Amino acid sequence: MDTFFIHHTPLAQKTNRVIGLAQVDKVYIGKGNCCRCGCGGEYYTPEDNPKKVLNALEKLASGKYEVESQDGYIFEAEISYTEKHTKVICLYLKK
């Protein structure tokens, strides 16, 4: 499967979006309560690690996590939480 239906909450109103692997610029998987420079997680691209990107898309499309979006091309979901930190998936689409 190479397209995923992601229900997300933009700042204005709830909406749905169909996203394909070709639309993905990169995915960040790591700590949520820190900067996104890469010190708290890893970045993956469809070219370098399509399996990680597909896995992230599957999780975002699963309906299990609340997905928030920004400007229609950044999608983020908290996938786990501990007292010390949260783990997130942050999906960046190509502009």
The C-alpha angle with vertex 55 and arms to 13 and 90, in degrees rounded to 5, equals: 45
Q: For the segment 58-78, what is each residue's pLDDT rounded down to a tens digit?
A: 999 999 998 988 888 899 999
- How far apart CA 19 and CA 35 sit, in angstroms, is 25
Report how many domains make up the chain: 1
Q: Whole-model pTM?
A: 0.81
Contacting residues for 14 by C-beta, under 8 A, at least 6 apart: 7, 8
Q: How many CB atoms lie within 10 A of CB 82?
A: 7
> Phi/psi at 52 (nearest 5 deg)?
-65, -40
Confidence label for 85 from pLDDT (cuts 50, 70 and 90): confident
> Phi/psi at 90 (nearest 5 deg)?
-125, 115
Structural domain of 87: 3-93
